[in-house]
Amino acid sequence: MRRAVWMTLFLALVLSAPASAMAEEHTVSPHIPLSENSPSSAELVELPDIFDGTTVVYRGEVIGEAMVRGNWAWLHLNDDAYMERNIEEGAPLGGLNSGMPVWVPALEVAQIGVFGDYRHEGDIVEVRGVFNAACAEHGGDMDIHAVHLTVIRSGREVDDPVSKGKLWTAIVVILAAAGVYLLDRNLDRIREWLAR
């Protein structure tokens, strides 16, 4: 009986924790202010119906690579917290990535110098094109079909310097690991030696 009471109390406690945390209010879809015709990728994903078929101006960092398919090419433009600066360069954490695929003429891709990855902060590119919530041409993907692109800011190489502290930690940890390994290997011999 006593146990049952404790269990009930415990359950009540566990269940009340989220209730108190709710005061902070976590909603899946935060209110996003609408700008004229240059929505962010988050706005496009949140309100696909509103922007579907309209011409939008969209700006973001070119990520990864350009995949050329015949006369056209796929670009992926991220307009998230890391569009100006990488975490490796000291940018603060700003949530998950967010971006939009853009379908551009292959000739336009030649303007792009740097694609964003671990070693690079990609070019920031602006496109003007038609937003498709579910593109009929591309298997229902959400995308922007643009005719032109403009490089707003060139990308650059990003350095991820080796920190001294990390280097020393690594050396100490590896030496310790080697020590423990040797101890494990020779434990019986050591015991014999101690017994003598």
Partner 1 sequence: MILRPRRDDHAIVGKYLGKIIVGIGLLMVVPLVTSLLFAEWDTALDFVIGIGACFIFGFGLQVICRTEKDLKWSHGLVVASGSWIAATVLGAIPHWLSGHEGSYLDAMFDIMSGYTTTGLYLIQDLDHISYGLNMWRHVLTYVGGQGIVVIALTFLVKGTAGAYKLYVGEGKDERLLPNVIGTARAIWLVSLMWLAIGTAALAVTGLMLGQEPVRALLHGLWVFMGAWSTGGFAPQSYNTMWFHSAAYEIICTVIFIAGSFNFALHWAVWQGDRRELRRNIEILSFTATAFITVSVATFGLAHLGIYPDAVNLFRKAFYQVLSGHTTTGFSTIYSRAFVTQWGPVAMLATTVAMAIGASACSTGGGIKGIRIGVLTKAYIQDVRRMISPDSAVVQERYHHIRDIVLEDRIVRTAFTITLAYVTAYAVLTVLGVLFGYDFTAAAFEGVSAASNTGLSCGITAPDMPNLLKWAYIIAMWMGRLEFMSVLALFGHFYAIVRGKS
- Calpha distance 126→153 (Å, rounded): 10
Q: What's the closest the beta carbon of residue 56 comes to partner 1, in angstroms?
A: 16
Residue span 51-90 as binding mask against partner 1, x where in contact by CB under 8 A, dash where not: ------------xxxxxxx---xx-x-x-xxx---xxx--
115-120: Cβ within 8 A, 24+ apart: 115/62, 115/63, 115/64, 115/65, 115/66, 115/155, 116/61, 116/62, 116/63, 116/64, 116/78, 116/155, 117/63, 117/64, 118/88, 118/158, 118/160, 119/157, 119/158, 119/160, 120/155, 120/156, 120/157, 120/158
160 binds partner 1 (CB under 8 A): yes
CA 74 to chain centre: 19
Q: Report if residue 163 touches partner 1, rule: CB under 8 A.
A: yes
Q: Report how many residues bind partner 1 under the rule CB under 8 A.
A: 70
For the bound state, the minimum distance from the C-beta of residue 162 to partner 1, rounded and expressed in Å, comes to 5
Q: Is 26 among the residues that bind partner 1 (CB under 8 A)?
A: yes
What residues make contact with partner 1 under the rule CB under 8 A?
15, 17-19, 21-22, 25-29, 45-48, 63-69, 73-74, 76, 78, 80-82, 86-88, 93-99, 101, 116-118, 133-134, 136, 138-143, 158, 160-163, 166-167, 169-170, 173-174, 176-177, 180-181, 183-184, 187
